[in-house]
Structure 1
């Protein structure tokens, strides 16, 4: 059976209402078979509160996978060359791990891992960098931090091992009309083009709830890609036969 991996990004007290809306919106498609990407202190102004920690634990107890999603989610590095182009075109000051050296990337990863595991009482599923952007040093730090799984735009991999799934993640942009329209067009193409893949990924963000057109596209994308698939956990990729997850 083919698999679909769903995730809610930017899970933080700052976006608690939006996360609740997304959970309700995705429930008819995947129930609670999804992942949450937890930001420990979004932009340095939204640390995990005791009340929100309780919610994270209950979600984890219900079977939702928890990923560490950076620490601040804010990029304060100075970039040059290709990295500068990625920082301008692929995100708006959100690529926290795009410019970090090994030591700083590892320290933030370890702090995030410790916090989320302490809050939930469970091992985290893995690490996914904000905006899916990593420096080479940050990719190396994933191994030292002991994460079982990582993800970027084009693949899911085991930091100490092999690539586990290939293919672009389907996601949407909400911060401008132009980006919203382009993401709608991309989703319309991808939900058809990705049909043959054994594993597909859909990622939603808090901002998606502000645009009804994005929510309608999310519904159409799930409805299309769920045909012949079952919602799965990222951790399933670690135990599935390689032939069933590789394109």
Structure 2
């Protein structure tokens, strides 16, 4: 079976209106078969309210997978070398876990995991770093924190285990005209090039709703994968498939 994994990033009280818009946008393609990447306190100024926490539980009860998505989603580290290049080119000051050492990364992961699991009453589906950027220490901390799954731009893996899906995630950029145009071009190529893969990942962000061209591209991309019979799936399904292949 060919799988489609859909996710909404940066779920936070700061972006509730945008998240609702994205949910409505994706519903015709995946229903509630998607993942939410939840930020505990976006940029240190958007902690969860009781009303937002109740929404997280309702979404989780409806079958939405819940991932911890950093803590602040803000990068306060000083970078050098390759990390500095990634921080400058791949995100606008939001690669929170790119410069963290193991201990600090683990502390934030554990806090986020506890907060999310207390809110939903369920185990967190996993951890995905903001901007998909990890330091070596952060990667090592994933298993220590007890997360079942993690992902970056190129793969999904089980910490302490192995890779369970490969292939670039399709996503869009909204923070500048040039980046938006680049992401539109990439999506147009990838929605054809990735058709042979068993698992395709599509990620949307609150900022996408600010650009009609991005929304049209999102529609075309989801339609391109769902009209061919590819089914919306859960990230947890990847673990089930991996375990079945090991035991076979």
TM-score norm. by structure 2 comes to 0.97
Q: Which runs of 5+ in 2 are unaligned?
A: none
CA deviation string 1:51-70 (max 9, x = no partner): 00000000000000000000
Structure 1 partner of 2:234: 233
- The answer to whether the aligner puts 1:128 opposite 2:131 as a matched pair is no
- The separation in 1 between residues aligned to 2:155 and 2:17, in whole angstroms, is 30
1:243 CA drift (Å): 9.2
Query: Residues 209 and 238 from structure 1, CA distance in 2 versus in 1: closer, same or farther, beyond 3 angstroms?
Result: same
CA deviation string 1:124-155 (max 9, x = no partner): 10000000000000000001000000000000
1:46 CA drift (Å): 0.0
Structure 1 partner of 2:185: 185
1:223 CA drift (Å): 0.7
Structure 2 partner of 1:26: 26
1:240 CA drift (Å): 1.1
1:165 CA drift (Å): 0.2
- The separation in 1 between residues aligned to 2:5 and 2:204, in whole angstroms, is 11
Structure 2 partner of 1:145: 145
Assess if the C-alpha contact under 8 Å between 2:164 and 2:242 holds in 1: no
- The separation in 2 between residues aligned to 1:57 and 1:241, in whole angstroms, is 28
- The separation in 1 between residues aligned to 2:240 and 2:214, in whole angstroms, is 34
Assess if the C-alpha contact under 8 Å between 2:148 and 2:159 holds in 1: yes
List, as ranges, runs of 4+ consecutive aligned residues in structure 1 with deviation greater than 6 Å: none
Structure 1 partner of 2:14: 14
| Matched length | 244
Deviates more, 1:148-157 or 1:226-235: 226-235
Structure 2 partner of 1:35: 35
- The answer to whether the aligner puts 1:168 opposite 2:200 as a matched pair is no
Assess if the C-alpha contact under 8 Å between 2:73 and 2:96 holds in 1: yes
CA deviation string 1:74-108 (max 9, x = no partner): 00000000000000000000000000000000000
Q: Which runs of 5+ in 1 are unaligned?
A: none
- The separation in 2 between residues aligned to 1:195 and 1:241, in whole angstroms, is 21
1:241 CA drift (Å): 4.9
- The separation in 2 between residues aligned to 1:20 and 1:202, in whole angstroms, is 17
TM-score norm. by structure 1 comes to 0.97
What is the DSSP-based 3-state SS (H/G/I as helix, E as strand, rest coil) of the residue aligned with 1:240? helix
CA deviation string 1:175-198 (max 9, x = no partner): 011100000000000000000000
1:160 CA drift (Å): 1.3
What is the DSSP-based 3-state SS (H/G/I as helix, E as strand, rest coil) of the residue aligned with 1:239? helix
What is the DSSP-based 3-state SS (H/G/I as helix, E as strand, rest coil) of the residue aligned with 1:66? strand
- The separation in 1 between residues aligned to 2:152 and 2:244, in whole angstroms, is 21
